[in-house]
Amino acid sequence: MEKKKVTLVIPMYYEEKVADECYKRVKENLVKLENYEHEIIFVNDGSKDKTLEILEDIAKEDENVKIISFSRNFGHQAAVTAGLQYVSGDAIIIMDADLQDPPELIPDMLKLWEEGNEVIYGKRKSREGESAFKLFTAKMFYKTLNALSDVEIPKDTGDFRLVDRKVVETINSLPEHNKFLRGLFSWVGYKQYPFEYERKERFAGETKYPLKKMLKLASDGIISFSTKPLKLVGALGIFSIVISVIILIYALLSYAFSWNNLSAGWTSIMVAITFFSGIQLMSIWIIAEYVGRIYDETKRRPQYIVDKKINL
Ligand code: UDP
Ligand code: MG
């Protein structure tokens, strides 16, 4: 029987404390697979610490280890997107470097793939060692995303998943530059399978997802999967028109029946002006977010720049 091949795609940003252990644990689990060849693609997302050096040393010893190194930090999604461009396996596993996604699950995921599932996505049963703040923001993120989005994006899933080569090729062929992968993997369809697992604590080092990056990921996710915020602008408009009509009727009635003296209406005017200009500015802001992204896409600049490739 001809051997199948499994490819791992692992992004790394300032992961010098984790890189060796990550390779060791992943490799251990890959060599145990009798019916599979393997390759590991590490993507160095512009780390300026020793991450790349460590990876280069590993790649010297192991030709199945391949490295793509970016010219600067382009972000986690860009790093995974880049890795997907270079895969040669039949089944592709995307995994974080920090061992929060246990490599010990690789055989189980492959089994599900052999049974004909095409996207096996990790669903976090529990999340060890993550702050209450992180859990709360993650929950809000999936709630908002699903309320606004036109495709169902399963909650408690990250980017940890096994995907069939066919699905990766579909994703690679999509023309958009700024890819929000966990949304796209759901959007493309195919045979999906939720795979429950315990998310472990980060092996070492700090999270590379500060609030700023989380917010960017969240707005990318919402904006690339929904135009509902734009429609919200319309709803706000209607809402403010209704309010102003009510105020108008109230004012006319006041004059007619001289309920009170409206010339002392400084407060109401100020409230109305600030309220409605607030709504307008907010609406423009929502539109601007879309226009900005349209601008980014039309520039046709690449999502990342590869500085160096090793064993590829
Ligand atoms: N990562 C990356 N580029 C970035 C931020 C993160 O390649 O700009 C990688 C990081 O090295 C890790 C994965 O993305 O392999 C997930 O990041 P992290 O574990 O810090 O996020 P968290 O698990 O805290 O959400
Ligand atoms: Mg992590």
Residues with Cβ within 8 Å of residue 131, at least 6 apart in sequence:
none
Q: Structure tokens of 143?
A: 């709630």
Q: What is the pLDDT of residue 1?
A: 67
Mutate to test the pocket of ligand 1, among 18, 42, 84, 98 (most ligand atoms within 8 A of CB): 98
Residue 12 Cβ contacting ligand 1 at under 6 Å: yes
User: Which ligand approaches the C-alpha of residue 74 most closely?
Assistant: 1
Sign of the dihedral defined by the CA atoms of residues 44, 50, 55, 57, in that order: positive
Q: Quick one: pLDDT at residue 128?
A: 66
What is the model's pLDDT at position 68? Answer: 95
- Tell which one of 40, 47, 49, 76 to mutate to probe ligand 1, the residue whose CB is within 8 A of the most ligand atoms: 76
* Of 252 and 166, more confident: 166
Please name the residue whose Cα sits nearest to atom 13 of ligand 1: 96
Question: pTM to 2 decimals?
Answer: 0.75
Residue 279 has pLDDT above 90, yes or no: no
**Ligand 1: which of 17, 96, 201 to mutate, judged by most atoms within 8 Å of the beta carbon?**
96
- Condensed to tens digits (0 to 9), the pLDDT of residues 136-194 reads 877 887 787 778 777 777 777 778 999 999 999 999 998 887 788 888 888 888 989 88
Ligand 1 atom closest to Cα of 79? 7
C-alpha–C-alpha distance, residues 161 and 117, integer Å? 12
Q: For the purposes of burial, counting CB atoms within 10 Å of the CB of 289, is it exposed (0-12), middle (13-18) or buried (19 or more)?
A: middle
pLDDT in tens, 35-61: 899 999 999 999 999 999 999 999 999
User: Atom 8, ligand 1: which residue's CA is nearest?
Assistant: 75
Please tell me the distance from the alpha carbon of residue 295 to that of residue 156, in angstroms, as a whole number.
31
Asked if residue 278 has pLDDT above 80, the reply is no
Residue from 127, 208, 306 to probe ligand 1 pocket by mutation (most atoms less than 8 Å from CB): 208
What does the pLDDT read at residue 261? 62
The atom of ligand 1 lying closest to the CA of 43 is: 7
* Cα of 125 from ligand 1 centre, angstroms: 20
Q: What distance in Å separates the CA atoms of residue 159 and residue 96, rounded to the nearest whole number?
A: 8
Ligand number, closest to the Cα atom of 16: 1
- Summarize pLDDT for 83-100 with one digit per residue, the tens: 999 999 999 999 999 888
C-alpha closest to that of 170 among 111, 107, 87:
87
What mean pLDDT is reported for the chain? 85
Better-scored residue on pLDDT, 282 or 55: 55
Alpha-carbon span 267 to 273, nearest angstrom: 10
How big is the CA angle at 188 (ends 213 and 9), to the nearest 5 degrees? 55
* Tokens 């702050």, located at residue: 131
| Contact present, 77 and 45 (Cβ < 8 Å) | no
The SS3 of residue 78 is helix
Are the CB atoms for 79 and 104 separated by under 8 Å? no
Q: How far apart, in whole angstroms, are the C-alpha atoms of residue 277 and residue 235?
A: 15
Percent of the chain having pLDDT more than 70? 95
pLDDT > 90 in the chain, percent: 38
- Give the pairing of strands 157-164 and 91-94: antiparallel
Does residue 284 contact residue 232 with C-beta atoms inside 8 Å? no
For residues 259 and 225, the model is more confident at 225
**Is residue 269 predicted with pLDDT exceeding 90?**
no
In tens, the pLDDT along 183-239 reads 888 888 898 988 888 888 877 778 777 778 878 888 887 887 777 787 777 788 788
Residues 205/50, Cβ–Cβ less than 8 Å = no
Q: Is the CB of 159 under 6 A from ligand 1?
A: no
Compute the distance from residue 134 Cα to the ligand 2 centre, in Å.
11
CA of 204 to the centre of ligand 2 (A): 10
73 Cβ inside 6 Å of ligand 1: yes
The per-residue pLDDT for 260 is 64
Q: Please check whether residue 58 is in contact with residue 132, taking contact to mean a CB–CB distance below 8 angstroms.
A: no
Banded pLDDT at 266 (limits 50, 70, 90): low
